[in-house]
Amino acid sequence: MIPSAAPLLSVRSLSKRYGDAQVLANVDLELRAGEILGIIGPNGAGKTTLMECLVGLLPADDGTVFFQGSALPVSRRREAMFFLPDGITPWSDQPVWRVTGLFRELHGFAKDREAEVVRRLELGPVLGKLVQALSKGYRRRLLLALALLTPQPILILDEPFDGFDLRQTLQVMALLREVAKDRALMLSIHQLKDAERICDRLLLLDTGRRLGLGTLAELAAQAGAARADLEEVFLGLTH
């Protein structure tokens, strides 16, 4: 699907401070339907804070979020967005099949939908294992499966490829590309090569400020290096 021009989600002047530290400074962004937007930036750029403020898990000091043109209050953000945080280990004493089953039941999906997600993420061999017994890669796949078993039109994933090898990363990218036919995706990605491979547009953050938002070509033009790859653009625009 070709991304449409009208934004599904608009964010205006999102700001957040922790004491004296400005973690997000008037960040604006748009996410279009069917688009995969990558959020990139050095460590401490405010990527996770931006995502948590967007979904309402963290109180923002300022800013407005619009969904399909209407202001979306914090209390209703979960109707539009689902955020999968990085580094969580939920329900570690439960078997994998119970956790995926819970998400299916809660959101009213059919059993074959759950089975397909499990199959695509190759979770079959570990369905009967406890979550705490999973390797990092399998745990990451389980969390992705949970995100895919949610109904919100916008999926926000923090470091979705962390813990995967190259082959697994490419498989998950293919899956996410398929998902993006129906849902808009916002991905925080540390590995620039991964971001370059999967994202339609990129939001570059540094110390809470938006340094750029656009396609790789647009960011490269902004950096004054038309044929540069994302790593060169990153180095050119950040300090």
Partner 1 sequence: MASRTEFRQVAALFGHELRRLLTGRAYWAMVLLLAPLAGYGYIEAVRLFGEASKTALSFPELARGMAPLDGILVPTLGAFYLGTTLLFPFVAIRALGQDKESGALKLCLQWPASTGTLVAVKLLAVGAAWALSLVVPLSAVILWRFSGGHLAWAETANLFLGHALYALAVAGIAFFAAAITESAATAAILTLAFTLGFWVLDFAAAAGPEWLRTLGELSPTQVLKQFEHGLLSPPHALALGALGLGLAALAAVVVPPGLTPRRRLARGGGAALVLIAVLAVSPFIGGARDLSEDRRNSFNPADEAALLRMDQGLTITLNLSPEDSRARELSTNVLGKLRRLVPRLDVHWARVDGAGPFGAAQGERYGLIVYEYAGRRAESRSNSPREILPLLHELAGTTVAPVDAAPYPGYPLVASTQAATVWFYGLLPAILLLLGWRSSRPGRVPPHHSLPTEGVRS
- Footprint on this chain of partner 1 (rule: CB under 8 A): 55-59, 74, 78, 81-85, 87-95, 97-98, 101-102, 105-108, 111-120, 124, 127-130, 146, 148, 150-152, 175, 178-179, 181-183
Greatest Cα pair distance in the chain: 53
Residue 118 CB, shortest distance to partner 1, in Å, is 6
Paired residues of 202 in beta bridges: 38, 214
Q: Which is nearer to partner 1, 109 or 234 (CB)?
A: 109
Q: Which is nearer to partner 1, 128 or 224 (CB)?
A: 128
In angstroms, the Cα distances linking 169 to 140, 162, 197 are 11, 9, 10
Q: How far apart are CA 103 and CA 97, in angstroms?
A: 10
Residue 211 CB, shortest distance to partner 1, in Å, is 27
Return the residue matching tokens 């967005």.
81
Q: Which is nearer to partner 1, 157 or 216 (CB)?
A: 157
Residue 175 CB, shortest distance to partner 1, in Å, is 7
Q: Which is nearer to partner 1, 147 or 211 (CB)?
A: 147
Residue 91 Rama label (left phi>0; alpha psi -120 to 50; beta):
left
Q: Which is nearer to partner 1, 90 or 224 (CB)?
A: 90
User: Residue 179 corresponds to which amino acid?
Assistant: V
Query: What is residue 181's DSSP assignment?
Result: T
Q: Are 149 and 114 in contact (CB under 8 A)?
A: yes
Residue 64 CB, shortest distance to partner 1, in Å, is 15
Q: Which is nearer to partner 1, 59 or 69 (CB)?
A: 59
Residue 90 CB, shortest distance to partner 1, in Å, is 3
- Residue 50: Cβ-neighbour burial (10 angstroms; 0-12, 13-18, 19+): buried
Residue 6 CB, shortest distance to partner 1, in Å, is 19
Paired tokens of 207: 């110390």
Contacts of 52 (CB under 8 A, 6+ apart): 58, 83, 85
User: Residue 167 corresponds to which amino acid?
Assistant: R
Q: Which is nearer to partner 1, 52 or 200 (CB)?
A: 52
Q: Are 176 and 169 in contact (CB under 8 A)?
A: no
Residue 173 CB, shortest distance to partner 1, in Å, is 14
